[in-house]
């Protein structure tokens, strides 16, 4: 019988960008991701099939093949078919590719019976994300929060987790995103890095348990420096949002709100031309089932 594995996971919401100081933070969010991996007898090929919201990131997939799978599959008498089905929008700062990387590496490690620890898997995904050129510092915060859930604070330049919280805010998250001119962000990267010490202070606020305060402080400062979404963030806060921030460097807007206020903020963002999704923080980590 053909052997396979189904890996179930979710996305992450970066709320402090490592772009400024190397220190970053993210939380797991309940946007589902499913990866199905099947063995293909009498073949050593690796085929990827991409479905759902994630755009096929050829560089990332190539790096997963070359830097990880090819090291082991050549010793087997079968190939792999890897089907990715993601509800995480791509290219909006939600670390969609980082999530795909860590769950794919985990699933392949399981089906090939590789003796890799969780820490091994996370750091392999981080290094692959770095070398693919998609993520400047490897997205350790997004990878860890996707794979483990909860809220995580990381030193991305040092490749280490500083703190991890298994409790998450009790609220809904309304996320708004729209197409961006990426060059605008990259032109202001040097300016953002001038404020690295201030972003590090915001990081310290979050690390002491002030997750939502850090969301808002980081969002307001980042949006001011990049000239993106500042007025919208202020408006959502004036209308009673619990917190409002910028997700990653995509970026997308993330509004933390009471469950009963979700419709109000969905309508607000929709009226301003954003595509809108609603989710919530999660402490759930990776799970999987073998398929015989």
Profile the chain (292 residues) by mean pLDDT over runs of 10 residues: 85 90 94 95 88 80 92 86 93 88 95 94 91 69 96 93 94 90 59 87 96 96 88 97 88 94 97 96 94 80
What is the token pair recorded at 238?
A: 């004036």
Q: Locate 139 and state its tokens.
A: 């997205």
Cα dist from 138 to 35, 64, 128, 129, 156, whole Å: 21, 14, 8, 5, 7
Q: What is the pLDDT of residue 193?
A: 82
User: What distance in Å separates the CA atoms of residue 50 and residue 57, rounded to the nearest whole number?
Assistant: 9
Given this chain, do its domains 4-166+283-291 and 172-279 carry the same CATH topology?
Answer: no
Whether the Cβ atoms of residue 196 and residue 63 lie closer than 8 Å to each other: no
> Is the Cβ–Cβ distance between 9 and 146 less than 8 Å?
yes
Give counts: helices (H), strands (E), the chain: 11, 11
Euclidean distance between CA atoms 88 and 30, whole angstroms: 10
Does domain 172-279 match CATH 3.90.660.20?
Answer: no
263 three-state secondary structure: helix
Residue spans of the domains in the chain: they are 4-166+283-291, 172-279
Strand pairing class (287-291; 160-165) = unpaired
**Closest to 126 measured CA to CA, from 109, 139, 107:** 139
Predicted TM-score (pTM) of this structure: 0.92
Q: Report the CATH fold assignment for 4-166+283-291.
A: Ribosomal Protein S5; domain 2 (3.30.230)
Which strands sit side by side in the sheet containing 243-247, from one edge to the other? 243-247, 252-257, 172-177, 275-279
How far is the C-alpha of 87 from the C-alpha of 130, rounded, in Å? 23
What is the C-alpha to C-alpha distance for residues 105 and 107, in angstroms, rounded to an integer? 6
The reported pLDDT for the residue numbered 233 is: 96
The phi, psi pair for 134, rounded to 5°, reads: -85, -25
pLDDT at 225: 87
What pLDDT, on a 0 to 100 scale, did the predictor assign at position 181? 58
pLDDT for position 1? 41
Helix (H) or strand (E) holding 222: helix 211-226
């Amino acid at each position: 019988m053909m052997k396979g594995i189904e890996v179930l996971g979710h996305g992450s919401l970066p709320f402090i960008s490592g772009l400024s100081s190397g220190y970053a933070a993210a939380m797991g969010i309940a946007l589902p991701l499913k990866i199905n991996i099947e063995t293909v007898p009498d073949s050593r090929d690796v085929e990827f099939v991409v479905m759902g919201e994630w755009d096929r990131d050829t560089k990332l997939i190539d790096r997963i093949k070359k830097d990880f799978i090819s090291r082991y599959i050549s010793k087997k008498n079968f190939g792999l078919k890897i089907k990715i089905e993601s509800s995480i929008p791509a290219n909006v700062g939600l670390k969609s590719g980082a999530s795909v990387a860590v769950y794919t590496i985990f699933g392949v490690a399981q089906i090939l019976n590789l003796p890799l620890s969780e820490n091994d898997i996370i750091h392999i995904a981080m290094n692959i994300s770095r070398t693919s050129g998609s993520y400047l510092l490897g997205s350790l915060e997004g990878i860890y929060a996707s794979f483990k859930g909860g809220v995580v604070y990381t030193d991305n330049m040092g490749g280490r987790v500083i703190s991890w919280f298994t409790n998450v805010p009790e609220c809904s998250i309304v996320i708004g995103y729209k197409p961006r001119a990426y060059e605008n962000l990259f032109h202001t990267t040097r300016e953002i890095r001038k404020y690295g010490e201030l972003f590090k202070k915001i990081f310290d606020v979050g690390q002491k348990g002030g997750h939502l305060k850090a969301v808002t402080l980081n969002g307001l400062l980042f949006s001011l420096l990049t000239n993106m979404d500042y007025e919208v963030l202020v408006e959502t806060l004036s209308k009673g949002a619990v917190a409002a921030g910028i997700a990653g460097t995509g970026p997308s807007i993330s509004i933390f709100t009471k469950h009963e206020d979700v419709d109000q903020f969905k309508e607000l963002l929709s009226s301003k031309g954003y595509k809108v999704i609603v989710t919530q923080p999660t402490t759930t980590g990776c799970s999987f089932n073998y398929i015989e």
